[in-house]
């Protein structure tokens, strides 16, 4: 039987989590959705990479309902001005709030670096004072500090590297002995989106080994882009305990769990319908296969 997919004029994909295995597996047509009575958790990204965060979060916290907004129409954000990134991110956040999200995670590192504080300080108080926006950079820096790693390599987009946000947050914690070497790795995302994980791993491995061969100690590696979560297990297999891998697909679910435990007033509002909606601002046919591969599911 040929796969059936639902995609309306606004490019909404609806994934439902099967209670038996807590995984994102099946895409249903809109009419088969359960009715949501509570609030949801939203995730924003400039493309599809944030779906790795959604998948990881939903695995750890399967009972809640999620909305995902991928701004595929305007990617890549790295080529845009700070003001353009702010306006595009704000539009995505508004969409998620209007879809019933009480909490939104900015899964895009570039957007987190450029817009998070401004959205929290300027936008929320006047428009959605009862909602929350979280980023992905501070949770990673907190993990680095707790690990006591001293020489940390970071792979990220050029825009994230140029922002200096990771260094700024590390400096706020007075971790003077910990050094982060930020390296722009623009070739990794195209390889990962095309399914060439081995090619991306080879580039990452070459950059790491270059430093090790020069005697530059590396005891930690930050994967500073949502797509890079696909490298996590392979790099851990290669380097074992020699290098601690800081992957947002591990860190964000853990930190979000802690956040909800510490903010029961938000957790109690959350819907338990196990609904997952994915909204893309622009659809391409090749996204269908990529979504299935990324989420390890199939359209039905």
**What residues are annotated to the active site?**
108, 225
Three-state secondary-structure class, residue 56: helix
The residue written with tokens 């994980």 in the block is 197
Mark residue 244 as left, alpha or beta (left: phi above 0; alpha: psi -120 to 50; beta: remaining).
Answer: beta
CB 119 within 8 A of CB 89: yes
CA-CA distance, 281 to 82, in Å (whole number)?
Answer: 20
Cis peptide before 76 (omega within 30 of 0): yes
The residue written with tokens 């609806």 in the block is 14
Considering only CA atoms, which of 292, 298, 297, 282 is closest in space to residue 47? 282
Q: In the beta sheet, which residues pair with residue 222?
A: 154, 246
Task: Name the burial class of residue 278, with classes exposed (0-12), middle (13-18) and buried (19+) by CB atoms within 10 angstroms of its CB.
Answer: buried
CA-CA distance, 157 to 143, in Å (whole number)?
Answer: 20
DSSP class of 186: T
CA-CA distance, 94 to 86, in Å (whole number)?
Answer: 12
CB 267 within 8 A of CB 24: no
CB 221 within 8 A of CB 235: yes
DSSP H helices, 119-231, are: 124-127, 137-147, 158-163, 165-172, 188-193, 197-213
């Amino acid at each position: 039987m040929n796969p059936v997919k639902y995609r309306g004029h606004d490019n909404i994909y609806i994934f439902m989590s099967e209670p038996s295995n807590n995984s994102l597996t099946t895409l249903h047509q809109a009419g088969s959705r359960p009715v949501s009575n509570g609030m949801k958790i939203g995730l924003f990204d400039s493309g599809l990479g944030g779906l790795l965060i959604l998948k990881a979060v939903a695995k750890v916290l399967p009972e809640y309902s999620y909305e995902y907004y991928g701004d595929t129409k305007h990617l890549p954000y790295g080529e845009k001005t700070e003001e353009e990134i702010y306006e595009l991110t704000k539009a995505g956040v508004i969409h998620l709030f209007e879809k019933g999200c009480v909490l939104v995670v900015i899964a895009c590192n570039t957007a987190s670096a450029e817009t998070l504080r401004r959205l929290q300080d300027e936008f929320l108080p006047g428009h959605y004072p009862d909602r929350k926006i979280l980023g992905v950079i501070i949770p990673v820096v907190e993990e680095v500090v707790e690990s006591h790693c001293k020489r940390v390599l970071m792979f990220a987009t050029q825009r994230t590297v140029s922002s200096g946000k990771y260094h700024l947050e590390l400096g706020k914690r007075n971790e003077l002995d910990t050094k982060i070497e930020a390296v722009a790795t623009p070739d990794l995302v195209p390889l990962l989106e095309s399914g060439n994980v081995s090619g991306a791993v080879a580039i990452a491995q070459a950059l790491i080994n270059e430093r090790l061969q020069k005697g530059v100690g590396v005891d930690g590696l930050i994967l500073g882009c949502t797509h890079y979560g696909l490298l996590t297990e392979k790099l851990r297999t290669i380097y074992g305990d020699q290098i601690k891998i800081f992957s947002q697909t591990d860190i964000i679910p853990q930190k979000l769990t802690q956040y909800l435990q510490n903010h029961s007033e938000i957790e109690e509002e959350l819907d338990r319908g196990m609904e997952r909606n994915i909204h893309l601002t622009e659809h391409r046919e090749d996204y269908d296969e990529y979504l299935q591969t990324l989420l390890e599911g199939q359209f039905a």
